[in-house]
Chains A and B, each alone.
Chain A
């Protein structure tokens, strides 16, 4: 902390470090509210960094703390903005901070913390940086709030048919995520139960039988690890599906998050690969990026052509022997229905199962009369409605059987 010219006395030094650590604790709190996973250890390390002279220049401190506090790309990208707003935005120069000037003590975030201990673990009531923390029902406050933000943004854009209540949509996301999670654990357990083995593992057999003087009495076998189920989702984002797109986007986000292997595509008049865009941990940002892709050009649904693109360019990469392709569409093909039939046939040869989810199916009096769905149905293994959360949950046993 000896960055300034004058040599402060011990009392003054204590004061300085107290102020710095209080301010640092407030910063940690801000970060935690922004979704960063920072704990006491990071706080200690940050204090150590400041003591080691990293606090001399704001740029240097920012870069150092960025490495320390970020844990993923989304953190990395937003850190600079948060740092500048917190440390530099209020005309508090870091130099004056290290000198412990009154200016530092006057900053509002500090004031609210003055009567508190400087431990960065303080997980209690809010500083002035938090708009509201009472609406989060449980400990996962940050997460809940992020989803809340996205909820507000998407509502204004997408109109779900019967689901206008924000709470319900929130629930849609949660159920989708839980579904994906439960499917995943079930798959894992199945893998373990089946592991009986057909090939001798010579190395382990010898090792295990050293106690018998090397005579192989108990055998160790091995088997190829079963490939986990891969789920490839193709979501129809055309106008006729617009009431459902939002819910399914959330479902896909949950699936990509929780499944070990999953890929997602959107199609309307053309096909777009969206897994990368959706791997964003922050749901709000992922959906933001997607809504741009999902908008696309209005004017029909070319399922056949989109599938052709998929078969030609993506299938070889994303489909392996244990892949389930899930198409979510109403089957209103505005292109060539015969082409759709041909492409479905090609797809059926490649993958293990094709599930076609049609939200319209549950409508009263619906029969699959659209030319598209008629051409596609012969190749579909499971044709199911998916207009409620319950019907989505009912898919689980089917997927687990694969």
Chain B
């Protein structure tokens, strides 16, 4: 196995798919010659050339519109929206066009495309370049929503997203880009819609996504030192959602905690809390507790940003409070 950074794993995933499928094309702002502003597409322009790896103008409507038109006519486009916050500029394409056209056309049109975007806080970029917007996307029927937490998943889930016959919104987390981890050699593909149980413990079930996953794991380490054994689940894919794994692991402990970077209202954990209470209410030993960013725009100063995004200390404190310890 090779040690790869999360950002290199993204490029490796795209390269793997471009090598096996001539229909895969990649484009976005600064994506080609510059290798991406987050350096997640380094080397691809050099390997695949300007026909398959293209720079676009700052035209988010044209980027997603072109991806859609290309996807419905035989290509497998991978379009990059530089920051997930900018999805608001082209939300029509996500919410009205890409997500709904298969349904409205009674299945005549299929849209195998991927929208990659840099999501999340940690870079001190302030309220318009730091948001976690995965919960916007999961509110729209017709688009899959994936957010990897590790280099192996960045490669494997992205490969799956590119092969998927449906549109996928793929969130790459800015604060994870430099993280290194083992990535399997050779072709690596991880199926969409499968949560990963990272560890099991009998006292609490902590459910996390993307950058909150390593924090949940560290919190579980700290809790273990105090004699509290926690299960940690990496959701990985919000749509399709692996509700089965979440329900099984929630029932096992009866104490459920979600760790969400998105702001409070209608965050992804609210849907999970709803499913859990509706389907395994009798297994619960206490209320489901959501640990989220509060319902405020994100501040820029490092001290302020750190104060609002869920931290290891806050996860530990909330779990202990929930367990009455």
Physical interaction between A and B: no
A contact residues vs B (CB 8 Å cutoff) = none
